[in-house]
């Protein structure tokens, strides 16, 4: 029997999958009733799915799963759109954003966070420890440091060299999005949805 909660959860995953297109996401589901399930975007989502699946397959909460999953590309310097090794902004700074939400609709997020490898974990603490939904910039960094996170250098040498080259060539920004140009090296960050065995979606 399909409950309202399970219908909403499954519909959310289906709509998300349909909206991104087949080239942009990957899923992991190994049980006959399709629970648990994890879906994420892009190629780096495969490694993220594996980490999330370890949590889900052992009966863990979907919130723990998405945090564990997203932490994988955040720490991978070869992923240029997430976390450490990410492409810097025009001023040469690696600035990160993250948002997390549980099945109860509670949410936490950080924006313009610098020097912290795992913004997803900081976002979760914003949700769990503060009355806020978002912390940004210096406030987000101060909160992260107060909660045991350590400052790290996020700009890798390779990205720094690429940024210097870009600055030298005076490339112009374009606000136009051309779907034809979306590729493994030219897209957004990571999105992940997980549905655990108890039907909780995060």
Q: Per-residue pLDDT for the chain (202 aa), expressed as one digit of tens each?
A: 444 444 344 444 444 444 444 445 555 555 446 789 999 988 888 999 999 999 999 999 999 999 999 999 999 999 888 889 888 988 999 999 999 999 999 999 999 999 999 999 999 999 999 999 999 999 999 999 999 999 999 999 999 998 899 888 866 655 555 555 555 666 678 999 999 999 999 9
For the whole model, what pTM was predicted? 0.79
119, containing H or E segment: helix 119-129
What pairing do the DSSP bridges indicate for beta strands 192-195 and 37-41? antiparallel
- The pLDDT of residue 11 is 42
Q: Please enumerate in sequence order all residues whose Cβ is within 8 A of that of 11, keeping only pairs 6 or more positions apart, or say none.
A: none
- Our measurement of the distance from residue 187's CA atom to the centroid of its chain's CA atoms, rounded to an integer in Å, reads 13
- The pLDDT of residue 187 is 64
Angle, vertex CA 70, rays to CA 123 and CA 117, nearest 5: 65
Omega prior to 192 cis, within 30 of 0: no
Instruction: Find, among 114, 87, 81, 100, the residue nearest to 187 by Cα.
Output: 81
Q: Where are the domains of the chain?
A: 1-80+186-202
* Structural contact between residues 125 and 108, judged by C-beta atoms closer than 8 angstroms: yes
- The pLDDT of residue 14 is 46
C-alpha span between 191 and 41 (Å, rounded): 5
Catalytic residue numbers read 189
- The pLDDT of residue 17 is 47
11, containing H or E segment: helix 4-20
Q: Please enumerate in sequence order all residues whose Cβ is within 8 A of that of 37, keeping only pairs 6 or more positions apart, or say none.
A: 13, 27, 28, 29, 56, 194, 195
C-alpha span between 78 and 185 (Å, rounded): 11
């Amino acid at each position: 029997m399909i409950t309202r909660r399970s219908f909403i959860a499954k519909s959310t995953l289906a709509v998300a999958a349909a909206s991104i297109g087949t080239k942009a996401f990957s899923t992991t589901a190994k049980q006959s009733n399709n629970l648990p399930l994890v879906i994420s975007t892009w190629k780096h989502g495969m490694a993220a799915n594996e980490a999330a699946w370890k949590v889900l397959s052992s009966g863990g909460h979907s919130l723990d799963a998405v945090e564990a999953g997203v932490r994988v590309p955040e720490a991978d310097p070869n992923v240029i759109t997430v976390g450490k090794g990410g492409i810097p902004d025009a001023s040469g700074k690696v600035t990160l954003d993250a948002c997390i939400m549980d099945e109860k609709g509670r949410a936490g997020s950080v924006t313009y966070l610098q020097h912290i490898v795992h913004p997803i974990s900081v976002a979760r603490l914003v949700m769990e420890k503060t009355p806020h939904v978002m912390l940004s910039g210096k406030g987000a960094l101060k909160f992260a440091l107060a909660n045991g996170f350590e400052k790290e250098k996020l700009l890798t040498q390779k990205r720094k060299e690429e940024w210097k080259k870009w600055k030298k060539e005076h490339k112009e920004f374009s606000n136009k999005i051309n779907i034809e140009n979306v590729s493994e090296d030219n897209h957004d960050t990571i999105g992940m949805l997980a549905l655990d065995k108890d039907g909780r979606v995060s």
